[in-house]
Each structure stands twice: as C-alpha cells, then as structure tokens.
Amino acid sequence: MHASPTDPDCGPLDLLVIQPTPFCNIDCSYCYLPDRQSKKQISRDVLEAIFDRVFSSGLVERPFTIVWHAGEPLVLPPRFYEEAIAILARHNRSGFRVEHSFQTNGTLIDEDWCAFVKANDVRIGVSVDGPAFLHDRCRRTRRGQGTHARVVQGMELLRAQQIPFHVITVLTGESLDYPDELYEFYRRYGIKSVGFNVEEIEGPHQHSSLEGSASYERVVRFFDRFFDLAKGEWPLHVREFEGALGAIFGAGEATSLRSHEIVPLAIISVDCEGRFSSFSPELLGLKSEHYGDFEFGRVQTDSFREAAQTAKFRAIRADIDAGVESCRRNCPYFKRCGGGAPVNKYFENGSFNSTETMFCRLSKQAVLDVVVAKLEHATAGDRPPLATSSPL
Amino acid sequence: MEQVNSEVRVHLKQKLLKLLKAAPVAGLVLASASLSISTADASLSRVQPRLSIEERVTNVRNQSGPQAHPGQALPGTVLPGTGHESSETLLAWGNWHNWHNGWHNGWHNWHNWHNW
C-alpha cells in the first residue's frame, strides 16, 4: 500500500519540527535531549532538502506549523532564520500558510531577536519555571548557576517591545506545592498564557520527581487550585484547561479524539543532519534496544512517503496502533484522549504497544478530572467532590 | 498575612510542607499560599467515583446544550480566559502544543490546524 496524501491514516502534515542545532547554552536537569552539548548546525543544503521534500510530498494540504526546536534555537542568529524562511518561501509555490514557532530558554533574547520576531510574525514561547527558588532548581548553566535572572531579563525585553509570548513551565514534585507563587509570578511579569509540562521520563531522563502514586492527587490539587487562580483578577489562558475543554466539547458522543502523535507523517521531525522521524518528535535522536533508533530516513536521499513503507516504519506504526487499540479497550478516558503519547509509552512502559503512563495520569486524567469537576460545579451550582475516576 | 514578606512565607511553607509530608496525615494537603487546608479537598483521597469520567463528560455536555462550545456554552465567569473573550482567543495556542502536551483537541476541520 502506498501512502497517499488523501489517505486518512497518513498525514496531512500538521507539524514540522526542525532542529537547527542540538546545542543548548544551558543544562536543565530534566532535559531529554541527548546531544545538547553538540555545536553542530543545520546546513543550507539540508534546509533546501527539507523544504523540497515537504512541499513535493503531497502531505501539505493546509497550513502547518514549523517549530524550531530540539536544542536552543536562539543560539543561531536571526539572520540564519531569515535565510531559512526565504528558502522555505521559494519551495512553497502554492503559498500555504506556514507558522513559525520558537520555544526558547529566554536567556539569549535581545534587541535583534525582538526585531526579528516582530518583522516575521513568529510565535515565541519562553521556558520558565516560575519564581527563582523553583526555576533555578533545575534550569541551570553547565557551571551550575541559575538562569532565572537572565530569563526574566529576556521576558522584560519582550514586554517592553510589546511582543506577545506564552510561557511553558515544567511541573516538578517541588513546584506542585506552589500554585499561588506561580500565579503571582505570571502576574508580576505580565504573562497571559501558560502551558504546564509535567516532568516526563524520556530518553536519557529516566526518572521524574513525579513518579509514584501520590503524584496524581497532588497534581489534581495543583490544577484545582490553579484553575481558581487563573480566573482571578489576572486572567490566564492555561493550555491544559483549554485543551481539556476542547476534548470535552470538541469530540462528539460517538467519536474519539485522535492524537497527532499516532498519525503517520502528521508530525515530521528532522535533525540538523537531515535524519527524520515521525510520531512523537522526542523520538528523533533517541536510542532503542528494540528498534535501534527511530530514524526513518534522510531528507537528502529519502522521501517521506517512501520512508513510510519501510519495514521499520511499519513495525513501529503497528506497535503504536496496537497500543492505541489497547487504550481504546481499557482506558475510561480514551474518548477524551485518543490513545496517549507513543514516546511516553515507550520510555515508561518499554513498548509502544502499551497503555497508561505517568504522563497520561498527570497531563490528561488529572486535568480532565479537575475541569469536569469545575464544569459540574458551574452547572449544578454546588461544589461536587473531586471524584477521581483514575484507577489510582 | 498579605503583608508577610514572600520569602518568609515561602520558607514557612516549605517547613510546614516537610512536616506534613513526614506525618501520616492522609488526605490533607495545602490548598493555597495562605496555608489553609480545604476540608472539601481533604476528603479527596477517600472519595469513590460516582460516575465514570465519560458519564460525567456526557452530563456536562448535556447541561451545556447541544451546541456546546468552549467560552460560549458555559457560565462566563467560571472558565479562565473565557469571560469576555471570543472563541478565537481560545485557539491562540500554536499547533505544536498538541504535541507537547499530547492533546489533540478534536475540533473539526479548520480548528485542527490551529488549535485552541
């Protein structure tokens, strides 16, 4: 069977992750990127090959997003991205809308970067874990110095230039105790949109401070409190709550959601040397005892559609599909989730063909439990107990 | 309480947290920076599910009407960011966030490329 752009099981492309460099100028303790000390850079030839492959693949049917990631994107200068955007434009002959996103550690934001963001209408997010006593526990330089002051400086510059940005905060076992302090931090720095990533177990980061059955209730309590804070005098958009609302009200009674991460070639991630993968972007660059690695080809020599026909791709896809089917049969949250994240299944359970993970419990189930309880409260007019449907 | 220096407050809170974690106080957690303990929340760990999550979702969907839509179908004051904002505002999150939190939100067609 040849993958076709109209095949509902393959694509269309929604997200293209490009690694401009694996290097990161800081060294967070929970980072999953294995080569963040490497100073390699993507070449112009690889960029040409990426965009040639993308726009000739038949997978581009609608606007999609490019996220420059898998290393700190701002270690390369703005002129690099100006050139990359120009290369993309030459290959984008049909003029599809392409949105560029940067998620940065915020330490390198300066006037030049602000000018670039404004001129190119790109989205920017800053990774910051709240006040210094939380942030500097994990987000440090290679010499062990905290980075909070530099991140705050970067955010202040964005604010001064009136550049909208969101923040991503990693929730650790420590930070769950401080929802109020986090909220005050966001308010103090004028932050309006927040996403919370739980500290995950992926690749070289093999343990999380959130491991253990007690974390579920702690996360529920965190989000329960934060929900109330976020509708306070400084209203916050919280990605997790808005995602849960989409999951609750977007999926019909007879349908289930479908995660991007389980759709072949809906997400394509390419490293700085042209190697590419699909499904969960974190897979690119990680090793596996079972599969060797998760690389499906190189843009210099292989098309995405050809790669989807290889034995390795099909084996991984079959295992992912089997895991999703197990979720469908066994998980009470399936209709509001769609089958979980393959990378978390693999690195927590040892197989794509598996079901619940810590990531599921803390990022999906806990959030859904809180938001549904809030909705029940809003519609019934009284506060229900935060009954958890979790098997925990 | 509001006048207490925030560093002192954090320090006190850390100490109390250590005490609570060390003690077998099942079901009790701190609920806010004011160190209050919510009695409603205190029973969390003992509450048994009354309904499945899907039954509860169905109920809130039904109570919000057949055309339920975030920011429109629900009481305007209850949901963060939905009080006086349009649904477009809710779609402000970039597509790649679907990957980072793994939550493809299931909006139909055009919503899918530009979720939330």
* Angle (CA) B14 A184 A247, round 5°: 100
Q: What is the pLDDT of residues B16-45, one digit of tens each?
A: 454 444 333 333 222 222 333 333 343 344
Q: How far apart, in whole angstroms, are the C-alpha atoms of residue A113 and residue A74?
A: 8
User: In A, which residues are within 8 Å of B101 by CB distance?
Assistant: 195-197, 239-240, 243, 363
Percent of chain A with pLDDT over 90: 68
Question: Token pair for residue A224?
Answer: 């329960």
pLDDT at res. A256: 65
**B108 part of contact set with chain A, CB < 8 Å:** yes
Distances in Å between the Cα of A153 and the Cα atoms of A29, A74, A101, A136, A156 are: 22, 15, 21, 15, 5
pLDDT at res. B100: 56
Residue ranges of alpha helices (H) inside A57-130 are 78-91, 111-120
Instruction: Read off the DSSP letter of residue A285.
Output: T
Question: Are A385 and B112 in contact (CB < 8 Å)?
Answer: no
Question: Are A243 and B63 in contact (CB < 8 Å)?
Answer: no
pLDDT at res. A248: 83
User: In B, which residues are within 8 Å of A330 by CB distance?
Assistant: none
Selecting from B41, B96, B115 the residue whose C-beta is nearest the C-beta of A386 gives B41
Q: Chain A: residue nearest B30 by CA?
A: A177
Q: What is the pLDDT of residues A18-54, one digit of tens each?
A: 999 999 999 999 887 888 899 999 999 999 999 999 9
pLDDT tier, A61 (very low <50, low <70, confident <90, very high otherwise): very high
Selecting from A235, A258, A379 the residue whose C-beta is nearest the C-beta of B64 gives A379
Q: What is the pLDDT of residues A233-268, one digit of tens each?
A: 898 888 888 888 878 876 555 566 777 888 999 999
- Strand segments (E) across A190-344: 193-198, 237-238, 267-270, 275-278, 287-288, 292-293, 297-298
User: In A, which residues are within 8 Å of B103 by CB distance?
Assistant: 240, 243-244, 246-247, 257, 259, 337, 363-364
Whether residue A16 has pLDDT greater than 50: yes
pTM of the predicted model as reported, rounded to 2 decimal places: 0.81
pLDDT at res. B115: 28
Q: How is chain B split into domains, by residue range? A: 6-46, 86-116
Q: What is the pLDDT of residues A299-350, one digit of tens each?
A: 999 999 999 999 999 999 999 999 999 999 999 999 888 888 899 999 999 9
Q: Chain B: residue nearest A340 by CA?
A: B102
Q: What is the pLDDT of residues A342-369, one digit of tens each?
A: 999 999 999 999 999 999 999 999 999 9
Query: What mean pLDDT, rounded, does chain A reach?
Result: 90
**B97 part of contact set with chain A, CB < 8 Å:** yes
Whether residue A115 has pLDDT greater than 90: yes
Question: Token pair for residue A376?
Answer: 């029940």
**B11 part of contact set with chain A, CB < 8 Å:** no
| Most confident of the ranges A8-17, A189-198, B60-69 | A189-198
In one-letter notation, the amino acid at residue A26 is I
